[in-house]
């Protein structure tokens, strides 16, 4: 009975810690699709097709930040048992690496957006190169969001994930509604970038 009681307490504790991550995951799923839904509603399937095609060229880079964080974060967490200073020093280096990598990818992609679009798709998609140039800079804040999300889990501050993701989702919906009407699919790219900046700029969460 003591064993079952212990297991029950452990299960309840884990549920309390994990439910914010569950809701954050649901909101992120909505977050990453809401622009397409709103373009479909406000502009139609043709523009949604253009936008979706361009986003593939931008979002394909998102996985790199996830892979890097998954690879190095166990070592970062382990360093906390040795020294808090070492822990935050490694966090700083991770964020610096991600920022440099994201800026490099973003600037190169933005600079050669027309050539990339023409090479992968056709000249009929060239007008969407501006969308790629805008949206690709969201990579910077996505990388920082992934890393700061790992930090929030390590510090058992997972509720902050809900707050910031919810804030980003609301801003994304509102900006999409107004900017898609005035700027078309470029407006959706701007809305997504701004929402990522507000939600995932980590300076407010990490004391380094």
Angstrom distances, CA of residue 202 to CA of 15, 95, 149, 167, 189:
26, 9, 9, 14, 21
Q: What confidence tens digit (pLDDT) does each residue in 90-126 have?
A: 999 999 999 999 999 999 999 999 999 988 887 888 8
DSSP 8-state code for residue 136: T
Task: Check residue 38 and give its pLDDT.
Answer: 93
User: Is the alpha carbon torsion for 77, 81, 84, 89 positive or negative?
Assistant: negative
**Residues whose CB falls within 8 Å of the CB of residue 75, separated by 6 or more in sequence, listed in order:** 90
Residues of the chain with pLDDT > 90: what percent? Answer: 49
Q: What confidence tens digit (pLDDT) does each residue in 117-173 have?
A: 988 887 888 888 999 999 999 999 999 988 988 888 788 787 787 888 888 889 999
Average pLDDT over residues 7-29: 61
CA distance linking residue 134 with residue 20, whole number of Å: 31
What contacts 24+ positions apart, CB below 8 Å, involve 89-97? Answer: 91/147, 91/151, 91/206, 91/208, 92/208, 94/68, 94/69, 94/147, 95/144, 95/147, 95/202, 95/206, 95/208, 97/68
| Residue 201 in this model has a pLDDT that exceeds 80 | no
| Residue 64 in this model has a pLDDT that exceeds 80 | yes
| Residue 193 in this model has a pLDDT that exceeds 80 | yes
**Residues whose CB falls within 8 Å of the CB of residue 57, separated by 6 or more in sequence, listed in order:** 109, 116, 117, 120, 132, 136
Task: Check residue 165 and give its pLDDT.
Answer: 84
Angstrom distances, CA of residue 114 to CA of 6, 24, 53, 77, 139:
60, 35, 14, 42, 19
For the chain, domain boundaries:
24-204
């Amino acid at each position: 009975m003591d064993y079952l009681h212990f297991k029950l307490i452990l299960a309840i504790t884990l549920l309390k810690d994990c439910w914010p991550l569950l809701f954050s995951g649901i909101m992120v799923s909505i977050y990453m699709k809401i622009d397409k839904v709103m373009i479909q509603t406000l502009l139609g399937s043709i523009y949604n097709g253009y936008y979706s095609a361009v986003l593939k060229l931008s979002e394909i880079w998102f996985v790199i930040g996830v892979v890097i964080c998954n690879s190095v974060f166990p070592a970062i967490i382990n360093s906390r048992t040795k020294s808090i200073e070492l822990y935050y020093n490694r966090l700083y280096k991770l964020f610096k690496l991600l920022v440099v990598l994201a800026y490099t990818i973003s600037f190169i992609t933005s600079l050669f957006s027309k050539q990339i679009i023409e090479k992968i798709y056709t000249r009929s998609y060239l007008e969407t190169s501006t969308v790629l140039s805008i949206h690709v800079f969201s990579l910077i804040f996505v990388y920082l969001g992934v890393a700061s999300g790992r930090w929030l889990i390590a510090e058992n501050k997972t509720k902050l994930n809900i707050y910031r993701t919810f804030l980003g989702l609301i801003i994304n919906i509102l900006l999409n509604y107004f900017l898609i009407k005035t700027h078309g699919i470029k407006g959706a790219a701007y809305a997504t970038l701004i929402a990522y900046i507000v939600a995932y700029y980590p300076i407010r969460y990490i004391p380094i």
